[in-house]
Structure 1
Amino acid sequence: MMKKMMILGLLATAGLAEEIYATFNVQAEKEADLVLSTSGLVKKIYVDVGDTVKKGEVLLELDNDDLKTSMLLAQKQIELAEVNLRFAKKAYERFEKVQDVVDEELFDQYVSSYERSKIELSNAKANLSYKKALYEKTRLKAPFSGVIASKEIELGDGVSSAKMETLFTLITPKKQKLMVTVDEKYWQKLKVGQPFDYVVSGSEKSFSGKIVKIYPSIDDKKRSVTVEVPATALKAGLFGHGTIKAD
């Protein structure tokens, strides 16, 4: 009898689990609107919508021939500064060995020339680094591996750093997340790890996942809470509905 009552009690407790209805939109796990922080004319575009790219891959390049020339000149300045430094160093070392028998003012001139040559080489290297930084700003690179979801630029178009216009949208194609919208009245019942069973619009297949994140604020317009559920093999932009199993 006691055993039967325990079983009934467990069944009753299980029956208290509440199913909370919720809707969702599918987003890529990572999504970035890519912009350039410099202005210029688009000279080369290396990718199109649907292309798969790797992190660091160059997607677009502005007209930067002047910067390429500047970098070559800066490199020549380094080479010249290195030659001057070698001669200045040799002269300094030669006079250092006999500084006790040479005019002090003359020796100081060689010391000054040697120190000045070191500074000139350092400045030349800094100038090249600056030119390279300007050059790199004319090349848009992928911040992570993914797929080009949209392209908003064409060859010859002007890019303005002031407007910060989106040139490409990059997404992760294989991993998504469900942005699940739940009525605010359930906010105290939501917990990380709770199961979410759902279907996606246009498909009869059922999916399941678990809540991994609960957003801390209430949407005061929709009067709802947002929770996040990882997903795979879906397309960003889809929507659907499902139920959260809450204790």
Structure 2
Amino acid sequence: MKRGIITVVLIIVVIGAIAWVLNSNKKKNDAQTALVSQGGGAVSVRIATVKKEAVDLDFTANGNFAAKQELNFLSENAGRVNAIYVDEGDHVKKGQILARIDAEIINTDRETAQATLANAIKDEARYNSSFSTGGVTQQQLDQAKLNTKNARMRLQSAARRVSDANVKSPIDGIVNKRYIEVGAFVNTQGTQMFELVDVSKLKLKVNVNESQVANLNVGDRVQIKSNVFPADNFSGKINFIAPKADGTLNFPIEIEVENNHKNTIKAGMYGTAIFKFPARAATITIPRGAFVGSVSSNQIFVLENGNTAKIRKVIAGRTINDQVEIIEGLKEGETAIISGQINLVDGSPVATIK
């Protein structure tokens, strides 16, 4: 019995709360209606006079410098490190010997390959002589020639391994890290030996949006500033523009930068790309927020007779930052409604907010 009474009381309390909320909302709506009626039912909007202005396409983008080429040099032969000729920070040239691997086993393989080739050449000569007198068949002679060919290839392979015992730099660059010591054993699975970087040229990697990338081309020259050396002016050239946007809807751009100043930029530093464009003819632009719904709707409201909103079909062009170029449908001197249009329909009375 008591439980039933409690349930009834709770229901009454809930109904009372709902009634209070509805009554409160009604009072707010009545107050808003009264306010609108005092203003003659006009919707408050912001406006802007349409005029032609020069479009500034210049922009900047920040990014990080990366080395032109980075190489983790791995071992190709198994053996013990006999000597190391460079250290971290050393400049190296392509083909320069960096270290030497113990070539005792490799030399043995080469000597064996040389002896095998010598025997194969003798056998082939003997089979050739016997074939002319009918002592061997054509098939036996062909096999002797094949044996000679295979032995020569094995010798070439062994000689290549002997040459590889001298670990040579494949690029011009700087030894950034050395991972081996004299006496260490390396294997053919690819023991990491050196990290080489080429910073004679750098790559500045930046991201640009869709309106910016539309004005860029591979080969364009770009001014570069370094945060570390603000007094120096660097020059770069665009060598890559991503054909597809990334997850943030931006397009990765890669700029090759000459690193020949007295203050050398290092990979990993921050930099700024300054994109400059020739002056363009003045054009009509409006804020992108002035469009009904979105820019793709190609509809805006204009102010007519000082207090009436009329919908207008326009043709939008480029989006430049927060402005949209109007190619057709709007004339200089007209008045565009740039905010408040969400509450408008064609012919709505409006009151402008100054």
TM-score for the superposition, normalised by structure 1: 0.72
Contact 1:21 1:182 (8 Å CA) reproduced? no
Secondary structure of the residue aligned to 2:216 is coil
1:201 to 227, 236, 242: 227
Residue in structure 1 matching 2:66, options 12, 17, 27: 27
- 1:141 positional shift: 3.0
Q: Does 1:150 align with 2:189?
A: no
Indicate how the Cα distance of structure 1 residues 124 and 223 shifts in structure 2: closer, same or farther if over 3 A, else same. same
Aligned match of 1:63: 102
Measured after TM superposition, the shift of residue 75 of structure 1 is 0.6
Residue 191 (structure 1) shift? 0.8
Which one of the candidate residues 167, 183, 188 is aligned to 2:193?
167
Distance change (3 Å), C-alpha of 1:215 and 1:154: farther
Q: What amino acid maps onto 2:225 in structure 1?
A: V
Q: CA deviation at 1:38?
A: 4.6
Change (3 A) 1:157 1:224: farther
Q: Percent identical across equivalent pairs?
A: 23
Matched ranges for 1:16-165 at <5 A = 16-93=55-132, 95=133, 107-109=134-136, 114-135=141-162, 138-162=165-189, 164-165=190-191
Shift in alpha-carbon separation, 1:187–1:38, aligned structure 2, 3 A = farther
Count matched residues: 220
RMSD of equivalent CA atoms: 3.1
Unaligned runs of 5+ in 1: 1-11, 96-106
Q: Which runs of 5+ in 2 are unaligned?
A: 1-51, 279-354
Which structure shows the higher helix fraction? 1
User: Offset of 1:142 from its aligned partner?
Assistant: 2.3
* Aligned equivalent of 2:265: 235
- In 2, Cα distance between the equivalents of 1:139 and 1:70? 16
Q: Which amino acid aligns with 1:19?
A: D
Higher relative contact order (CA 8 A, sep 6+): 1
SS in 1 for 2:276: strand
Under a length normalisation based on structure 2, what TM-score does the superposition of the two structures give?
Answer: 0.53
Which structure: greater strand fraction?
2
Question: Is contact 2:80-2:183 (8 Å) kept?
Answer: yes
- Residue-by-residue CA offset, 1:147-177 (whole Å, 9 max, x unaligned): 3232222222233554x45422223342222
Counterpart in 1 of 2:251? 225
Q: Note if contact 1:217-1:225 (Cα within 8 Å) is conserved in structure 2.
A: yes
